[in-house]
Amino acid sequence: MSIFDAFEKTPANHTPLTPLSFIKRAALMFPDHDAVIYGDRRYTWSQTYARSCQLAAALANHGIRRGDTVAVLCANTPEMVESHFGIPMSGAVLNSINTRLDADTISYILDHGEAKAFIVDAELAPQAAQAVAGRDILIIDVADLQDNPNPNRIGTIDYADFVASGDANAAWEMPADEWDAIALNYTSGSTGRPKGVVYHHRGAHLMASSTIMDWGLPRHVKYLYVVPLFHCNGWCHGWAMAAIAGTIVCTRAVTPAVIYDAIDQHKITHFGGAPIVLGMILNADDADRKPFDYTVNVLTAGAPPPAAVLEGIEKLGFDVTQVYGLTESYGHTVMCSYKDEWNTLNTTDRANIKARQGAAMVAIDGLRVIDDKGNDVPEDGETIGEIVMRGNTVMKGYLKNPDATAKAFDNGWFHSEDLAVMHPNGYVQIKDRLKDIIISGGENISSVEIEGTLHRHPAVSLAAVVAMADDKWGEVPCAFIELKEGASATEDEIIDFCREHLAGFKRPKHVVFGELPKTATGKIQKFELRASLG
């Protein structure tokens, strides 16, 4: 026994890590600094903290307790930011739902996550109403009067009234254990039904801290929330902004005009987004562009952006950093951190290097690329293997799915099922996906889910869906269909059928008819389908 083993953890020297501590400190240190801006609405950090406390108290008054799930279906608005603090301050678990999902999937998520309350944006009320039909659940309407003077309401209380009913001075407690769940996020994965990914307070704290350190964020940055807050809790950037008392500028729409206007009006310094956002900026109309004389820092993830896009957008004044991660890793946990020696490279060569995903961020303890026997692949930039990682920003596991959790954590490493190479400088670069996931506009789409829908069409015998390159979205679904003997169907008929059963971003954008290539055992050879697309 060491002489240093006599010490014990006490409340005086050990408290659970949680991002909730960030907003409490921001309100104390910078009470009058702008926290959230949305159109004509503006809240300081003291106001945002008070409103979050009120939300927590109101939820408690309505019977929400530790470990209960509170679902949120909202755009990037102040209410969504407040939910990221107020819901966990009540002890509940935040379940932010993809706003692009269909009613059936939303209903499944509410059931699977056992949601006790549901905060709904009026703009999204139609699909929410279908999802909650016949369900006994507290519904809180977010009526965005600034955006819509006559909003849809499906609940019994408006968010503004609900928050007003809570006491801003009511006591709330930090989590007793940093391992407590803070958020529940659903990802399509490789199966039709989404899997519930559970985050803990420690991971959320360290993900926010790691982003500040690895991205080099100074205090009081101006951050445009382009990344949907439902996606990996907005990459945990909202919590990071509280830690550095930054200013969050919210937006419903993501267009070149919105981005340039925000830069012009609010002097935006940072934002994150999928490669599609970079393409939008690069191809913006002259009428949408606004001049600026400083560098705007951008994180991009979701699909590897073409080097040509990185090269082009850099010339416009945007400094883009490539990152990689998954829902299971709280968003980005790998970053292509810039090195000064790259300054000597020409623009094209520098863009090619910046197109790599990078190395592990501070909160990740280990990052490897392994072969099918679990051995590290050579660091030659050519040998392909699977990315595995371990660290504090890896999920607790999949909700109610111990088998999938055990498989993901095989041999003490989280298996990403993404294929990459390892370069001599220790930077990984994605090459393909082990799963048949299609990443469209930064959102994961399950090919299995689309195939399941296609197989419900009376004329379809076999269906396979793969990713097809798209200039705007990065990737879109392409369906290959083998029709039943004597049956007929057109591309428009197939797409119209999918329109009835799938969210818009999941529908195939192109349909190819013909016999599907198969192995001797009848397995469809998707690699041949991908190759046929060029």
Predicted local distance difference test score (pLDDT) of residue 192: 64
Q: Where are the alpha helices (DSSP H) in 481-533?
A: 491-499, 526-532
Tens of pLDDT, residue by residue over 397-418, are 999 999 999 999 999 999 998 8
CA angle, 31 as apex, 26 and 36 as ends, to 5°?
75
Tokens 């829908």 belong to: 453
The predicted pLDDT at position 522 comes to: 45
DSSP state of 397: E
The gap between the terminal CA atoms of the chain, to the nearest Å, is 64
The reported pLDDT for the residue numbered 274 is 83
Q: Write the single-letter amino acid at 323.
A: V
Strand order in the sheet with 474-483: 460-470, 474-483, 510-513
Cβ contacts of 525-534, under 8 Å, gap ≥ 24: 526/436, 526/464, 526/466, 529/464, 529/466, 529/478, 529/480, 530/466, 530/467, 533/466, 533/468, 533/469, 533/478
- pLDDT of 519 reads 46
pLDDT digits (tens, 9 = 90+) for 283-320: 888 999 999 999 999 999 866 666 667 778 888 999 99
Q: Tokens 């016949």 sit at which residue?
A: 134
pLDDT value at residue 148: 65
- Specify the pLDDT at position 151: 72
How does strand 428-433 pair with strand 157-158? unpaired
User: Residue 213: helix, strand or coil by DSSP?
Assistant: helix
**What phi and psi, each to the nearest 5 degrees, are found at residue 187?**
-125, 145
Encoded amino acid at 191, one letter: T
How many whole angstroms from its chain centre is CA 339? 27
How many whole angstroms separate alpha carbon 339 and alpha carbon 342? 6
Positive or negative torsion for Cα 432, 434, 439, 443? negative
Q: What is the pTM of this model?
A: 0.83
Tokens 């999941």, located at residue:
506
- Paired tokens of 259: 């981005």
Q: Which of 87, 43, 96 is nearest to 65 (CA)?
A: 87
The tokens for 262 are 């925000």
- pLDDT score at 451: 82
DSSP-assigned states of every residue in 248-298: EE--S---HHHHHHHHHHH---EEEE-HHHHHHHHT--GGG----SSPEEE
The span from the CA of 280 to the CA of 442, in Å, is 13
Burial zone of 257 (CB within 10 Å; 0-12 exposed, 13-18 middle, 19+ buried): middle
| Length, in residues, of the chain | 534
Tell me which residue of 481, 403, 454, 470 sits closest to 189, measured CA to CA. 403
Task: Specify the CATH class of 437-532 in words.
Answer: alpha beta
Count CA within 13 A, CB hemisphere, residue 10: 4
Q: Are strands 69-73 and 115-121 parallel, antiparallel or unpaired?
A: parallel
Q: Residue ranges of the domains in the chain?
A: 437-532
SS3 content of the chain, % helix, strand, coil (to 5): 35, 25, 40
- pLDDT tens digits for 425-448? 889 988 756 656 688 887 767 676
pLDDT per position in the chain (534 positions), as tens?
Answer: 899 999 999 999 999 999 999 999 999 999 999 999 999 999 999 999 999 999 999 999 999 999 999 999 999 999 999 999 999 999 999 999 999 888 999 999 999 999 999 999 999 999 999 999 988 999 999 987 666 666 778 888 999 999 999 999 999 989 999 999 999 999 864 446 899 999 999 999 999 999 999 999 999 999 999 999 999 999 999 999 999 999 999 999 899 999 999 999 999 999 999 877 888 898 888 999 999 999 999 999 866 666 667 778 888 999 999 999 999 999 999 999 888 888 888 877 887 787 778 899 999 999 999 998 999 999 998 888 899 999 999 999 999 999 999 999 999 999 998 888 899 988 998 875 665 668 888 776 767 678 878 888 889 888 889 999 888 888 999 999 989 888 999 999 999 999 888 888 899 999 999 998 874 334 577 878 988 987
